[in-house]
A and B are shown apart, each in its own frame.
Chain A
Amino acid sequence: MSEVTALTDAQLTMSNAPHLRQVRTSAWIMQQVILALMLPTIGALYFFGWRVLVMIVVAIGSCVLSEYLFQKLTKRQITIKDYSAVVTGLLLALSLPVSAPIWTIILGSGFAIIFIKQLFGGIGRNWFNPAVGARIMLSVFFGEYVSGWVEPGEAVDATSQATPLGVVANDRADAVSTATYVDAEMPNLVDMFLGTGVGGNIGETSKLLIILALVYLIARQIIDPFIPFLFILPVAVITLVTSGFDLEFMMQHLLSGALIFAATFMITDYSSSPFTPHGKIAFAIGAGILTVLFRYYSDYSGGVGFAILIMNACVPLLDKYLPPRIYGHKKRPI
């Protein structure tokens, strides 16, 4: 063999430092989130049956298609290969009850991708979390279709049951008329943790599976453990203090509704949360406090979603006023 490896034969690249890049790409990160979402997805299939599969396929399909069509029509670069639309679809499907009509899923997906994500400039630029925004839109305008809590095993058209959160809300507000929930019984904490026999949105019932997904994302260094923790902390503290240190009441709050799911997948969303470390702290704590306030003082049971949307709207302010202090400077670069 001739001397093929002489320096003079080499095509030497002359680009500037750094000459190495870490292996992970944005698409890989999204794939990891999808992988983590498979845990609650498996739970949803187990608890709620085959319709879950249809919901997920429809949601992902409509999200990816909306992104493709919008970018095609507006002649922008097609970015469906970054998997972020898949994540949005999956999140939206998992945050709906099994009784949600197919058209609400299609409508929500289109709204999430076009109005919340693309009109703001696409990935990395959307102010609001697309899945959360679409979920809220659906429950505000089409509440009767998407808030029928269905217990596992029930037929899709069965009578709605109280969710644990409804019962918690009822406990707090005896005086307020919440007649719908009067007969409901609070599921025990173990069932709430495992998701066995508990009604709710299909991906949110088993906290165990969601926490496993959370651990996976933290271990993969895709999300920072502080953010979910700081979101849940105020909920725990406020419920504990206001209930006169009733641990069971606190646990009911922590294990009900979308709290843990949002802590894992919504509050940690890159696009719709702050850049800056201190901004992130304020964001997570703020969303936690707002969640409790919504749960205490509003009839609407999906307080987590509203709390996150409100904090999403604060992100530009948080980033602007809480930038990190630069090394050697006394003040922040505001």
Chain B
Amino acid sequence: MFAIFSKLKWKKEGAYTVERKDRTEHRRIEDASVPSELVYPLTMHIGAPASPVVNVGDTVKIGTLIAEKNGAISANTYSSVSGEVIEIGSRPTVHGEAPCIIIKNDFQDQRDAPLYANDEELDPQKKLEIIAKAGIVGMGGATFPTRVKLSPPKDKPIDTIIINGAECEPYATADHRLMVEYAEQLIEGIRVLQEIIPVEKVYIAIESNAHESVAVMNKAIADSEHIEIKELETIYPQGSEKNLIKKITKREVSPGQLPADVQTIVINVATTYAVYEAVRLGKPLTKRITTVSGQPLKEPKNLWVRIGTPIESLIEDCGGFQSMPGKMIHGGPMMGRPLNSGRVPVGKGTTTVTFLAEEEAEIDQRSPCIKCSECLNVCPVSLQPIMISNAYEKGNLKKAEKLGALDCIECGACSYICPSKIPILENIQKAKKAIRSSKEGA
């Protein structure tokens, strides 16, 4: 009975999108084949590009630092194979052509020294440094340096850590498989986080459609009283940081604030795993789990991918195509970026590579707004998306700003739900850009 009422909620603050997880959710993670040439963009994270510390001709091993972080908001980059640096130059990346380090694989898989000496005593500060050194960034796609997230200002005590396992993109199953297959390691990663930031409560947020990971994680936390599983409704964008904080702590992050301002830190499960590998095993971030899925692929899979592997190599691992793809997306179909080159490498933030069939990639022609108000219903931050879109189309930036254009988290639920196929998000993004540039100009 109560479930019915929660379904009938006045405002859904999210959209029930299509679910395409069935293709990969029960498939064990396999190792992706390692190509002969790997490409490491210097921009696999938010912030300043890393600076190369190797030269063409240098030999590297797995875990050799190849590019160093540049300031606080930046991240180290490591080689994920052993071999030789053959080029430092521009290559297609998720963000267009960008400088990359290219390494030729010698298939010897030799390992470089661990991040810290075996007998070293690790205090919280030292652990933080290891996380920074390991080049760990938010692996749910945002790629914000994790060390910065884990060092909130002293005057802002943290009382809650949320481990984000709410994987709300329709095809993504990488985090789900990680929770199912590596629950013990994840719990150990959470312990590391607690050693750095002692909090009363750690919540693991999981969407209710991921039954298996809920069950496995519940078993794994059986004797950890500080950790609690929060099973959340399957609704897009459940895994957005602001949304998770509100759902779990009832706190809202005001504009200009960070989660730490509401005593909360949100960390993705894949990031937590990377923290475990860095601090417990001394391994820098050189691989990640990526879901490669979509109807055109013969065999969609969850793959352990060496960072730097071109996407075309993953397509081969999935048996190639059974039908012509109409769209290739870095990330999921809700927020991902379109790609037009299979040479783009998997980066630290590549959660998913999604392929859409030609007919799926088509979007119906726009028709007039019928005022159904669904975009208001699904907006997770309670904007009036179509009003901002209208204001932008009429050239009224002032109104767009007043209506909260800058608060938009760009989840795209509004464009997804619109029965008239109005490009609402696109208009809001343009409005944001115009508002910001007019502010800088002033």
Chain A interface residues (CB < 8 Å from chain B): 4-22, 24-29, 79, 82, 84, 122-124, 224-226, 270-271, 273-277, 280, 323-329, 333
Cα–Cα, bound, A135→B49 (Å): 67
Residues of chain B within 8 A of A84, CB atoms compared: 370
Residue from B242, B360, B373 in contact with A276 in the complex, judged by beta carbons closer than 8 Å: B373
Q: Do A12 and B326 touch (CB < 8 A)?
A: yes
Residues of chain A within 8 A of B354, CB atoms compared: 19
Q: Could you give 9 example pairs across A and B, Cβ below 8 Å? A: A5-B322, A7-B312, A18-B412, A20-B17, A20-B356, A21-B416, A25-B364, A26-B370, A124-B369
Interface string of B363-388 (1 = CB under 8 A from A): 11001111111001100111110110
Residues of chain B within 8 A of A123, CB atoms compared: 368, 370
Q: Which 3 A/B pairs are nearest by Cβ-Cβ distance? A: A18-B412, A327-B381, A5-B321
User: Any chain A CB within 8 A of the CB of B436?
Assistant: no
Residues of chain A within 8 A of B18, CB atoms compared: 20, 22
List CB contacts (< 8 Å) of B227-256 with chain A.
242, 246, 252-255
Residues of chain B within 8 A of A25, CB atoms compared: 364, 367, 419-421
A68 to chain B, nearest CB (A): 16
Q: Do A328 and B254 touch (CB < 8 A)?
A: yes
Residues of chain B within 8 A of A28, CB atoms compared: 419
Q: Do B363 and A29 touch (CB < 8 A)?
A: no
List CB contacts (< 8 Å) of B411-437 with chain A.
412-413, 415-421, 425-426, 429
User: Any chain A CB within 8 A of the CB of B157?
Assistant: no
Cα–Cα, bound, A92→B20 (Å): 43
Q: Do B371 and A271 touch (CB < 8 A)?
A: yes
Residue from A4, A12, A17, A277 in contact with B335 in the complex, judged by beta carbons closer than 8 Å: A17
Residues of chain B within 8 A of A17, CB atoms compared: 329, 331, 333-338, 412, 425
Residues of chain A within 8 A of B380, CB atoms compared: 327
> Interface residue tally of chain B, by bracket?
35 or more
Q: Do B419 and A24 touch (CB < 8 A)?
A: yes
Cα–Cα, bound, A18→B296 (Å): 19
Q: Do A324 and B376 touch (CB < 8 A)?
A: yes
Residue from B252, B342, B412, B420 in contact with A7 in the complex, judged by beta carbons closer than 8 Å: B342
Q: Do B372 and A18 touch (CB < 8 A)?
A: no
**Dominant secondary structure at the B interface:** loop
Of B63-71, B111-119, B217-225, B399-407, which binds chain A?
B399-407
A90 to chain B, nearest CB (A): 17
Q: In chain B, what residue has the closest Cβ to A271?
A: B371
Q: In chain B, what residue has the closest Cβ to A4?
A: B324
Residues of chain B within 8 A of A333, CB atoms compared: 402-404
Cα–Cα, bound, A79→B86 (Å): 60
A328 and B320 in contact (CB under 8 A), knowing A16-B338, A17-B412, A25-B367? no
Residues of chain B within 8 A of A21, CB atoms compared: 363-364, 415-416, 418, 421
Chain B interface residues (CB < 8 Å from chain A): 8, 10-11, 15, 17-18, 170, 242, 246, 252-255, 257, 296, 312, 315, 320-329, 331, 333-340, 342, 354, 356, 358, 360-364, 367-373, 376-377, 380-384, 386-387, 402-404, 407, 412-413, 415-421, 425-426, 429
A329 and B404 in contact (CB under 8 A), knowing A15-B363, A324-B382? yes
B149 to chain A, nearest CB (A): 19
Q: Do A29 and B372 touch (CB < 8 A)?
A: yes
Q: Do A277 and B376 touch (CB < 8 A)?
A: yes
Q: Do B10 and A20 touch (CB < 8 A)?
A: no
| Most chain B CB within a 10 A radius of its CB, from A17, A27, A329 | A17
Residues of chain B within 8 A of A22, CB atoms compared: 15, 17-18, 416-417, 419
Cα–Cα, bound, A228→B18 (Å): 28
Residues of chain A within 8 A of B426, CB atoms compared: 16
Residue from A9, A19, A324, A329 in contact with B384 in the complex, judged by beta carbons closer than 8 Å: A324
Q: Do A275 and B340 touch (CB < 8 A)?
A: no
A327 and B246 in contact (CB under 8 A), knowing A13-B338, A275-B387? yes
B371 to chain A, nearest CB (A): 4
Residues of chain A within 8 A of B255, CB atoms compared: 328-329
Residue from A5, A276, A327 in contact with B252 in the complex, judged by beta carbons closer than 8 Å: A327
Q: Do B257 and A20 touch (CB < 8 A)?
A: no
Residues of chain A within 8 A of B369, CB atoms compared: 124
Q: Do A13 and B361 touch (CB < 8 A)?
A: yes
Residues of chain A within 8 A of B362, CB atoms compared: 13
Residue from A8, A19, A122, A328 in contact with B336 in the complex, judged by beta carbons closer than 8 Å: A19
Q: In chain B, what residue has the closest Cβ to A8?
A: B342
Cα–Cα, bound, A277→B11 (Å): 7
Residues of chain B within 8 A of A276, CB atoms compared: 373, 376, 384
A329 and B407 in contact (CB under 8 A), knowing A270-B373, A275-B371? yes
A207 to chain B, nearest CB (A): 22
Q: Do B417 and A271 touch (CB < 8 A)?
A: no
Cα–Cα, bound, A274→B421 (Å): 20
A164 to chain B, nearest CB (A): 31
| Most chain A CB within a 10 A radius of its CB, from B325, B336, B360 | B325
